[in-house]
A and B are shown apart, each in its own frame.
Chain A
Amino acid sequence: DVKVTQSSRYLVKRTGEKVFLECVQDMDHENMFWYRQDPGLGLRLIYFSYDVKMKEKGDIPEGYSVSREKKERFSLILESASTNQTSMYLCASGISKLYSYEQYFGPGTRLTVT
């Protein structure tokens, strides 16, 4: 079974703090993704990476950055946390090949910024 793990299930941070969310996958997938999930908005893509040291902006990259130094690990960074970044953050990994664009999700990190 594919396993995607996230470093924390719950996190509380103060406004202005630098926040690191870590994600690790064990299936040697090329692609990794960070989403935020908000009620009524579904999942929105923040950043994704299709290879080590490569990154692409998603639909809502403002206020976030990412790092992928190893294939299995993808980090999301909030340089200066703000209250509007309070949300559920989901990491996913996947392969992309013809007829298969499945993604496998971690359990999520619920971040509260006070």
Chain B
Amino acid sequence: NAGVTQTPKFRVLKTGQSMTLLCAQDMNHEYMYWYRQDPGMGLRLIHYSVGEGTTAKGEVPDGYNVSRLKKQNFLLGLESAAPSQTSVYFCASSLSGRNTDTQYFGPGTRLTVL
């Protein structure tokens, strides 16, 4: 079991460029999440998905789009990157949304927008 993997690990973009972050999980989890982690602000939920073909907004969704075409993959897109999107991005998954379910995290993607 690889668990939760993220691609790429590092990326540098110029303002206005676009990119897609890929998250994959091999645990057959229904729920998947995208967070960003910034110094002094903790992790904040960007978007999440409760199953294949579904997505929902989290706390800080502006400037990001997501897709969940396959159950095992959750993509995070930046259409026009801004310096404020410089951050470390984490993907996570959980079996369901039940209160007994733990979230499993990927290793993160460090994104710098110049």
Chain B binds chain A: no
